[in-house]
A and B are shown apart, each in its own frame.
Chain A
């Protein structure tokens, strides 16, 4: 499988419809291709280039810029261990070392069975649960050596299938139209907020005007 399946192509065309410029759909389509194949195959990049009207080199250029887009195969689970400051202080480095031993690969490597790819992450905004781990962009933490091992076991055994989809699936909600934005509510809230703000500013100016003449 490399080019989009008919189902995925239908979704891809729907995604393109969401944008005024076709090429704006490049990155969403890259994610769609990753959802299908786990990574961006050459054929997928070529098909995306045809769909959005740019060259394959431009798709590759875009995809290779972003960390979340993979142009080489990755495991079913992309395990990212955070070693940024909060996690570092709580043992992130040690956890990464353990992960390397447990999985038998260095950061960037993929296990022989194709199940896991290990990555060293910068801050993933999960500091309250440091040291934190991300699996296919789902968060786990705080983790120690043992809890990491059991996480790996559960992933391998399929116990977490409901929580962690295979790599590439960003969201299990398939949108075919734009998000329904409660515009009326937002406008109303803004308007009342603005009124309140204006009232406060007026009161402040009055207060300053009353005492300000002495300065």
Chain B
């Protein structure tokens, strides 16, 4: 990558500066400390040069002339003057013109106080306007979606929101309508701006034209306090600032992280914070005797718990823990130690039967997001990424469009990435392994399916070291074994290829790394692989591999579990079989719920312990690419709630044990010694300036010099109080985030210890598949699909997101619909022979495999799970009305 070192020299305001070839004057000047005013320019959008605010003088063959600095690339020997009288006059003129129709209603505008138009008018404006004419008027504001309001009078037509919608999100639902003085941004009539990414347009609007429903009139910028943090809406790990006013969360803004989110967020992550403010929050420990529930002190609750726990300890396998994917790393480590060392049980599972075999993640070469977008071929074996890991979808889409990433997709139904995929293979459930085998096997005959032929050629022609497999869950119904075997087959066939986790729950990847799954210890070790330091600290570890969530629930229903902890988990809504979950929870003697919000399963808890939410406690989280980043604390924790690690320490104390932790620093001191994956890390190291984007573990490189100058651009993301993070870090530019950090020592033996577990024969670890029952005529194989707004606990408690959950519906392919004789839009009932799911809209999508019915998973209502459970399931559809 020598071309990234090449530079051109140019002169800006009399000083010689260096810039990268192709860079725009505005960006090069900014790095050299010269801020040129701007509105339409955004470091993450293609330039358009429409607002004219960045006019500077550039010397050409006929002397100096005014040129837009955001639209003119640097050239060797170029001379630029940004502060001449002529440039100043141009800035005056542009601002006077931009304000000709601007209503100047700053006192009642949410943007007032953090508004680039306001700020730049003060700094660069003429001070007075010569316009005396009546301004243009529109009804204001109008809702263009349930989340976004548009005030067309304030709009300065910078094209940022419309460029974002078209270029970045790929859905041009808003556009410039009209021309000249009557131009306006708007939607097509009755086609709202219902995009998963609509909040980003509000974030980058340089005036108060776009405002978000949850923030409107909630706070003034000068009253806001903020802390940097990581979004836990899913496992992408987007960097954010959390802003609050009067101990209440009011807004999240995306920070620009080169490695992860490029400043973008999805609407679920951005607005899901409302659940933290929910009036349903659990704030007091609760003890339930039969049907009578009473609030209790922590001491009472612990005393109540100690007795059954002491009894159950005599038989460690009678203690089980479900959940933990929503915990911070520190909590997970402490709970892991509590379960596996103190209790001696390995029946601990952070996944709810909706994930993958954890060994796929602990025994493979793991890819980063940068690896995936920079790969030659990305093989998708996951659900629809836009629904599950939205910001990763933006990154992959961009890579497929502009940097030649070839996406090979195996799916049961067309996804959001299908239009950008080089090959999209529609497979039936149960056929994934066989299909992957036909892709990698070197047989002479040409595959009959053209998409398989294309995909096979792409994979065969690729450098195996530049193949990344995105491994998630393609189908929430039935067994995942076929798909897991497909992933293993592909990785085994392509030595050097890497796996990017597609597991979507907030910190599920951190939970696996902390050994919070059956058969594992912290640091991606199996039960038998614990380091000497770990054995020293833990004294004992389980020898028998424990139960997974479905197995725990089955055992509980059989009366084999005496104490069951649910940590941020709702098996009734989220585990594959809700009826089994209900029977299990009813049978267990002591169910302990550690929760922030009540859910369907807390009804069964005899002890409820209130947990502090994210933003109410410090900690760290691990994303899909094993990047550990900090969670900031902004609020005082609600009521008597506590961070989960503290609760674990209390529980240990209640049964007379000492986990040895009094602070999170203690946790890290132990973790960084016992876990080879986390060796050398500490909370201080995670919070240092060189690690603001988080740290990839294991730490492979440590020598790095971080450029000290940071972006000056306060216009990229207005409203971030510190300007440091509002543009991309100036040390970036290679398109890759750093994986080397100052102040953190890479430890070769630790890295080797992690890498040594990578198995060359992944497939051998997995069970052999069961027989798949043949599909009878008229029967349909179910595919359960996740949607972003799925009615889950967090969404139900975020009042502006609740309504966004789509109406229940089922999707079938064209030939399936034709053979049944049902038309799109009909109302149908789905039946499994014993239970039914009525009143569903039928959607016909040509991208669905034959004989398959796609059903959208619902969250707390849990209705789809009641019809779709178990393996080898077949459904029928009945017509209600056309």
By a CB distance below 8 angstroms, the chain A residues around B178 are 64-65
The reply to whether B177 and A61 form a contact with Cβ atoms under 8 Å apart is: yes
Interface membership of A143, Cβ < 8 A:
no
Which of B53-61, B185-193, B864-872 touches A? Answer: B185-193
Does residue A68 face the partner (Cβ distance < 8 Å to B)? no
Q: Does A203 contact B (CB under 8 A)?
A: no
Instruction: Report chain A residues within 8 Å CB of B166.
Output: 58
In angstroms, how far is the closest chain A Cβ from the Cβ of B629?
35
- Docked-complex contact A65 and B189, CB < 8 angstroms: no
In the complex, which residues of chain A have a beta carbon less than 8 angstroms from the beta carbon of B188? 42, 45-46, 55-57, 59-60
A61 touches B189 (CB 8 A): no
User: Is residue A54 within 8 Å, beta carbon to beta carbon, of the partner chain?
Assistant: yes
Residue of B at shortest CB range from A46? B188
Q: List, in ascending order, chain A residues with CB within 8 A of B187's CB.
A: 57
Question: How many angstroms between the C-alpha atoms of A113 and B80 in the bound complex?
Answer: 62
A45-B188, A56-B191, A57-B191 known; A65 vs B172 contact (CB < 8 Å):
no
A42-B189, A45-B188 known; A57 and B179 CB under 8 Å? no
Chain A residues near B171: list those with CB within 8 A. 55
In Å, the complex CA distance between A57 and B187 comes to 6
**Of the residues A42, A45, A55, A64, contact of B172 by C-beta under 8 Å:** A55
Q: How far is the CB of A109 from chain B (nearest CB, A)?
A: 18
B174 proximal to A (CB < 8 A): yes
Residue of B nearest to A62 (CB): B175
Smallest distance from the beta carbon of A120 to chain B beta carbons, Å?
Answer: 16
Cα A58 to Cα B186 with chains together (Å):
10
Instruction: Give bound CA distance, A65 to B186, whole Å.
Output: 13
Query: Is B217 an interface residue when CB atoms closer than 8 A count as contact?
Result: no
Chain B proximity of A42: nearest CB distance (Å): 6
Question: Taking CB as reference atom, which chain A residue is nearest B179?
Answer: A65
CB 8 Å contact bits of B159-203 with A (1 = contact, 0 = none): 000000010000111111111000000111111000000000000
Residues of A within 8 A of B172 (CB): 54-55, 57-58
Tell me the complex Cα distance, A55–B186, Å: 13
* Complex Cα spacing A54 to B172, Å: 8
Number of A-B contacts (CB under 8 A): 38
Query: How far, in Å, is B419 (CB) from chain A's closest CB?
Result: 9
Chain A proximity mask over B654-697: 1 for CB below 8 Å, otherwise 0: 00000000000000000000000000000000000000000000
Whether A55 and B176, one on each chain, are in contact in the complex, defined by CB atoms closer than 8 angstroms, is no
* Minimal Cβ-Cβ distance residue in A for B188: A56
Quick one: CB contact mask for A37-48 with B, threshold 8 Å, 1 for yes? Answer: 000001001100
A57 cross-chain contacts in B, Cβ below 8 A: 172-175, 177, 186-188, 191
What is the CA–CA distance of A42 and B189 in the complex, to the nearest angstrom? 8
B175 partner residues in chain A, CB cutoff 8 A: 55, 57-58, 60-61
Report the separation of the CA atoms of residues A54 and B178 in the bound assembly, to the nearest whole angstrom.
Answer: 18
- Selected from B173, B177, B179, B189, the residue in CB contact (under 8 A) with A55 is B173
Q: How far is the CA of A59 from the CA of B191 in the complex (A)?
A: 13
Quote the shortest CB–CB distance from B36 to chain A (angstroms). Answer: 29
Q: Kindly state the separation between the CA atoms of A136 and B433 in the bound complex, as whole angstroms.
A: 63
Minimum CB distance partner of A60 in chain B: B188
Nearest residue, chain A, Cβ from B166: A58
Q: How far is the CA of A55 from the CA of B189 in the complex (A)?
A: 12
Q: How far is the CA of A145 from the CA of B129 in the complex (A)?
A: 45
Please, what's the 1-or-0 string for A49-86, where 1 marks a CB less than 8 Å from any CB in chain B? 00000111111110011000000000000000000000
Closest A residue by C-beta to B174? A57
The docked-state distance in angstroms from the alpha carbon of A46 to that of B191 is 10
- Determine which of B174, B177, B190, B191 lies in contact with A64 in the assembled complex, contact meaning CB atoms within 8 Å: B177
User: A57 to nearest B CB, angstroms?
Assistant: 4
Chain B residues near A61 (CB, 8 Å)? 175-177
B480-513 vs A, Cβ < 8 Å mask (1 yes, 0 no): 0000000000000000000000000000000000
Complex CA distance for A45 and B188, rounded to whole angstroms: 9
Question: Smallest CB–CB gap between B234 and chain A, Å?
Answer: 26
Nearest CB of chain A from residue B86's CB, rounded to whole Å = 32
CA distance A59 to B139 in the complex (A): 23
CA of A60 to CA of B184 in the docked complex: distance in angstroms? 12
How distant is the Cα of A46 from the Cα of B187 in the complex, in angstroms?
13
Contact residues in A for B179 (Cβ distance below 8 Å): 64-65
Q: Chain A residues with Cβ under 8 A from B174's Cβ?
A: 57
Among residues of B, the one whose C-beta sits closest to the C-beta of A67 is B179
Provide the bound-state CA to CA distance between A54 and B187, in Å: 14
Q: Which A residues touch B173, using CB under 8 A?
A: 55, 57
In the bound assembly, the distance between CA atoms of A187 and B852 in angstroms comes to: 58
Report A71 CB to chain B, min CB distance, Å: 9
Q: Which 6 A-B pairs have the closest CB atoms?
A: A61-B175, A56-B188, A57-B175, A57-B188, A55-B172, A64-B178
Give 11 A-B pairs besides A54-B172, A64-B178 with Cβ atoms closer than 8 angstroms: A42-B189, A46-B188, A55-B191, A56-B188, A57-B191, A58-B166, A61-B175, A61-B176, A64-B177, A64-B179, A65-B178
Interface residues of A (CB under 8 A from B): 42, 45-46, 54-61, 64-65
* Chain B residues at the A interface, C-beta cutoff of 8 Å: 166, 171-179, 186-191
